[in-house]
Structure 1
Amino acid sequence: MNMATKPNRIALITGGSRGLGRSSALSLAARGVDVIITYLSSPDEAAAVVKQIESMGRRAAALRLDVGTASTFADFASDVKKTLQNTWQRERLDYLVNNAGSGVYAPIADTTEQEFDLMINIHLKGTFFLTQKMLPLIEDGGRILNTSSGLTRFTFSGYAAYAAAKGGIEVLTRFMAKELGARNISVNAIAPGGTETDFGGGALRDNAELNKQFAGMTALGRNGLPDDIGGVVAALLSEGTGWINGQRIEASGGALL
């Protein structure tokens, strides 16, 4: 008896050209998922990720997106729809990973309104309205994974605006899970801890003293690497985790327990 071939799963990862997004894209590809990544200012880096995914036997594409400018999201959704049709002959994708972002480091007393608005626009407003525009392109039974931060649980001076925006993402995640349950779409938030990337100018990665200090606060005795987070993202989007819904999952190696 001929059995219908199940379509390959497709994930859209914002900010997938570097850092945690890149590791998430490669980890998903290693598990057999095709990937669309977005980039803001590094098309060459994005093209390299696409090439690496293709070398793994998967299909991939890269599209430009500024997650801080919601007025561009309708056009971006049209680009995604065209890419799905042209590359996969599909109308919808399976997974949306809202990963793209940036940070501001400033004490509350010194944070400008422009810096605060930037954090809200990129992280909270961007996640809200990009998801809104992508909903018609997500399969029923699909998954959405929003990116929060360990800084919503533990605190360090200088990250108030960033962490407040991420806290909003965690509340938004629960509301998304509630409202999208009728479509059997589960929604969760991943909260990375200290991870050695270029976040904050690469301070945790490049400052040996800071690296040692934060590692000493972590139960597993080291700081995270991008592949640690990519592996968790891939696991949370795997076949056996669909019953996890509306949750904040911290991936920090046990920081400040």
Structure 2
Amino acid sequence: MPKIALITGANRGLGKNTALRLAEDGVDVLITYRSNADEAQDVVDTVTKLGRTAVAFQLDTGRVETFDAFAADVRTALADRWGRDTFDYLVNNAGIGIYGSFAETSVDTFDQLMSIHFRGVFFLTQQLLPLLADGGRIVNLSTGLTRFTRPGFAAYASMKGAVEVFTHYLAKELGPRGITANVVAPGPIATDFAGGVIRDSEEYQAQLGSEAALGRVGEPDDIGGVIASLLSDRNAFVTAQRLEASGGTLI
């Protein structure tokens, strides 16, 4: 019986790369997208070509009031596609990039970041817990910005810091069910995060790369494999850990 992973925000970027890496490892995937159905369908089609099964759902992870209906849809898909009532891996990846100085951060911006990056992660995990198999895995996405600082990310990094604390509590409370919970914290990655600010600027990439031991910024391929590795049986005894994948930034 194949393993099944649920990955939020997997229509592009790190979530997409994770879905494809898992499919290459023989894992079936449930993915979510917020607004771009065509991108999500492309991921489903690519996973299918890799010989695995994929299903895409529309989900805004900032809207807690929709989580009950989403869980019901997941339950139906599990029964119809796999003849199961549980999935094995949960990857809380969905997020947005909004940056601005602490002094200029508005209540609306703070609340938007909170609703997606922490409140949504907390309550979506809670909602899906009955569907997560005993012996399962949870990986929450954080950021290198909880260890080092950059101007403009005070609110965003604070939310991710909360996710890291939350992950420790998940590991402790879900340990009796054999469920592990870990954090992957990417460093600077060339994706469309924050409007593609790193991806679209060679000058910025060079600046950030000069701060890394490996001399470059990351690519999505540098992260998906890390997540897939944490989810594998090879790492079944690893829990409550923060794994930073930053190329050795500011060490």
TM-score band, normalised by shorter chain: over 0.9
Instruction: Name the count of aligned residue pairs.
Output: 251
- The one-character-per-residue Cα deviations of 1:164-190 (angstroms, maximum 9, x if unpaired) are 000000000000000001101000010
Q: 1:47, 1:87 → 2: CA distance?
A: 17
SS of corresponding position for 1:229:
helix
Opposite residue 248 of structure 2, the aligned amino acid is G
The residue number in structure 2 matching 1:141 is 135
Deviation at 1:15, TM superposition (A): 0.3
Aligned counterpart for 2:74 among listed residues 70, 80, 85: 80
Q: 5 Å matches for 1:6-25?
A: 7-25=1-19
Structure 1 distance, partners of 2:222, 2:58, is 26
2:20 matched residue in structure 1: 26
Q: Distance in 2 between matches of 1:246 and 1:207?
A: 35
What whole-Å deviation, never above 9, does each CA across 1:104-132 have from its counterpart, x for those lacking one?
Answer: 11001111000001111101101100000
- Residue of structure 1 equivalent to 2:178: 184
Residue 93 of structure 2, aligned match among 96, 99, 103: 99
Distance 1:234 1:253 in 2: 18
What is the rounded CA distance, in whole Å, between the counterparts of 2:71 and 2:101 in structure 1? Answer: 36
Q: Choose which of 216, 221, 226 in structure 1 pairs with 2:220.
A: 226
Could you state the TM-score of these two structures normalised by the residue count of structure 2? Answer: 0.99
- SS of 2:181's equivalent? strand
2:149 aligned with 1:151: no
Deviations 1:126-151 (A, max 9, x none): 11000000000010000000000000
Alpha-carbon distance between aligned partners in 2 of 1:160 and 1:71, rounded to the nearest angstrom: 27
Equivalent residue letter for 2:83:
Q
Match of 2:232 among 234, 238, 241: 238
Map of 1:89 onto structure 2: 83
CA distance in 1, matches of 2:12, 2:132: 24
Mapping 1:35-184, distance limit 5 Å: 35-184=29-178
Contiguous gaps of at least 5 residues in structure 1 = 1-6
Q: TM-score, normalised by structure 1?
A: 0.97
How far is 1:209 from its partner? 1.1
* Secondary structure of 1:29's aligned partner: helix
CA–CA distance in structure 1, aligned partners of residues 16 and 201 of structure 2: 23
Answering whether residue 251 of structure 2 is matched by residue 253 of structure 1, we say: no
Cα distance in 2, alignment partners of residues 67 and 45 from structure 1: 17
Instruction: Supply the AA of the counterpart residue of 2:217.
Output: N
Which of 205, 209, 223 is the equivalent residue of 1:215?
209
- Percent identity, aligned pairs only, is 54
